[in-house]
């Protein structure tokens, strides 16, 4: 009898394992590319040529009627040069109640994900030129971050981010929220706010609001962000972008950003971009001009970037 019971339990355990495996969906995606940046004599990245590569594995299945997805990215460009494990997260699909993401690495709240949402064919105006991103207003993000997302049929979307304080990373826990409206065809309107205090007694109140509108082949956008510090200077940035989809494969864009500081000179950045897509192949190029970099007068430089990418 005991022998029969053992056989039965073994068969049951095997069927449960087989069932869980067959219920899961596995997928793999990858990308690789090479780019060249030049023209900026103050760049500290070494050679102008760089390579990017990434392979992402994901597994999805139902656990007690809750959809669970695990995603992990292998990236040869990992920051420390030794650990090739990059972004990884667990997503809980709560159905009509939204979704919850716990990101061990690569997580972001609303402000970080929307630091610049202006339409562009390749890169943002403040990118590529060394130091031009120093005062970019984008909240806070880090390892082991929670992000909750909810979307309503009316076109209203809610995002809430939470990052617990951690020694050497942030003095206070960080929370931000954002709301977007996409209920009108071609139009996206958004607003987000968060308090950042990575170092004790250096709290800043950050916020952003933006709108983009696509009509036919043209997309235009306007964004304004603020960073009010309890100590030190306050910052305010205004961004503008316009893109034109020439055809299914070719796009061009122009963008500009003005970053104001309460004590100092405004940083003014602009970029002209172009991109071409043919199947899994993409080619992008951009030329950037930035005046008064990091709000330092007469610190003016230009740079350009050309990139070749493959998606699999």
Residue 276 has pLDDT above 50, yes or no: yes
Q: What is the pLDDT of residue 166?
A: 74
* Nearest-angstrom CA–CA distance, 67 and 169: 32
pLDDT of residue 4: 38
- Could you tell me what percent of the chain has a pLDDT over 90? 69
pLDDT recorded at residue 43: 59
Q: Is residue 209 part of a domain?
A: yes
Report if residue 9 sits inside a domain.
Answer: no
pLDDT at 15: 41
pTM: 0.86
Place of tokens 């929370």: 175
Phi-psi region of 98 (alpha: psi -120 to 50; beta: other; left: phi over 0): left
Handedness of CA 285, 290, 293, 295 (dihedral sign): negative
Task: Flag whether pLDDT at 8 surpasses 80.
Answer: no
Residue 149 lies in a domain: yes
Q: Which of 21-30, 86-95, 100-109 has the lowest mean pLDDT?
A: 21-30
Q: Which two tokens stand for residue 37?
A: 């940046």
pLDDT at residue 176 tops 90: yes
Q: What is the structure's pLDDT at 2?
A: 44
Q: Which of 286, 304, 291 is nearest to 38 (CA)?
A: 304
The total number of structural domains that make up the chain: 1
List, in sequence order, every residue forming a beta bridge with 69; answer none if it has no partner.
60, 91
Q: Is the pLDDT of residue 53 over 60?
A: yes
pLDDT in tens, 237-260: 999 999 999 999 999 999 999 999
pLDDT band for position 12 (50/70/90)? very low
User: What CATH number corresponds to the domain at position 236?
Assistant: 2.40.160.10
Q: Could you give the residue ranges of the DSSP H alpha helices within 64-176?
A: 110-113
| HSE value, Cβ hemisphere, 13 Å, CA-based, for 276 | 4
> Do you know the residue count of the chain?
312
Min mean pLDDT across 133-142, 179-188, 279-288 is at 133-142
Q: Decide if pLDDT at 35 tops 90.
A: yes
pLDDT of amino acid 64:
83
Does any domain span residue 18?
no
DSSP state of 170: B
**Residue-level pLDDT at 76:** 72
- Whether 81 maps to a domain, the answer reads yes
Tell me which residue range forms the domain holding 166: 24-311
> Which tokens in the block code for residue 129?
């030129």
- Domain membership of residue 238 (yes or no) is yes
Write down the mean pLDDT value for the chain.
Answer: 88
pLDDT at 14 (0 to 100): 42
Question: 158 lies in a domain?
Answer: yes
pLDDT, tens digit, for every residue of 108-155?
A: 999 999 999 999 999 999 999 989 998 899 998 889 999 999 999 999
Residues paired with 240 in a beta bridge: 222, 256
Residue 273 included in any domain:
yes
């Amino acid at each position: 009898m005991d022998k029969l019971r053992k056989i039965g339990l073994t068969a049951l355990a095997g069927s449960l394992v087989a069932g869980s495996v067959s219920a899961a969906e596995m997928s793999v995606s990858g990308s690789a590319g090479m780019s060249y940046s030049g023209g900026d004599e103050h760049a500290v990245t070494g050679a102008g040529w760089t390579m990017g590569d990434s392979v992402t594995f994901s597994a999805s299945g139902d656990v007690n009627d809750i959809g669970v997805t695990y995603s992990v990215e292998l990236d040869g460009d990992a920051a420390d040069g030794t650990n090739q494990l990059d972004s990884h997260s667990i997503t809980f699909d709560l159905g009509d109640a939204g979704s919850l993401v716990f990101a061990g690495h690569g997580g972001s709240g609303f402000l970080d994900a929307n630091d610049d949402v202006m339409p562009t064919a390749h890169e943002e105006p403040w990118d590529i030129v060394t130091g031009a991103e120093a005062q970019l207003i984008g909240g806070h993000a880090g390892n082991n971050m929670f992000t909750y997302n909810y979307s309503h049929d009316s076109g209203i979307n809610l995002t809430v981010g939470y990052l617990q304080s951690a020694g050497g990373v942030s003095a206070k826990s960080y929370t931000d929220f954002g709301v977007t409206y996409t209920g009108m065809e071609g139009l996206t309107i958004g607003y987000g706010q968060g308090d950042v205090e990575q170092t004790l007694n250096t709290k800043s109140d950050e916020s952003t609001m933006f709108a983009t509108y696509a009509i036919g082949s043209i997309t235009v956008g306007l964004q304004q962000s603020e960073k009010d510090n309890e100590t030190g200077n306050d910052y305010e940035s205004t961004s503008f972008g316009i893109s034109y989809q020439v055809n299914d494969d070719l796009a061009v864009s122009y963008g500009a950003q003005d970053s104001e500081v309460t004590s100092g000179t405004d940083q003014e950045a602009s970029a002209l971009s172009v991109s071409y897509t043919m199947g899994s192949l993409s080619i992008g190029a951009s030329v950037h001009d930035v005046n008064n970099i990091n709000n330092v007068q007469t610190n003016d430089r230009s740079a350009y970037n050309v990139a070749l990418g493959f998606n699999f």
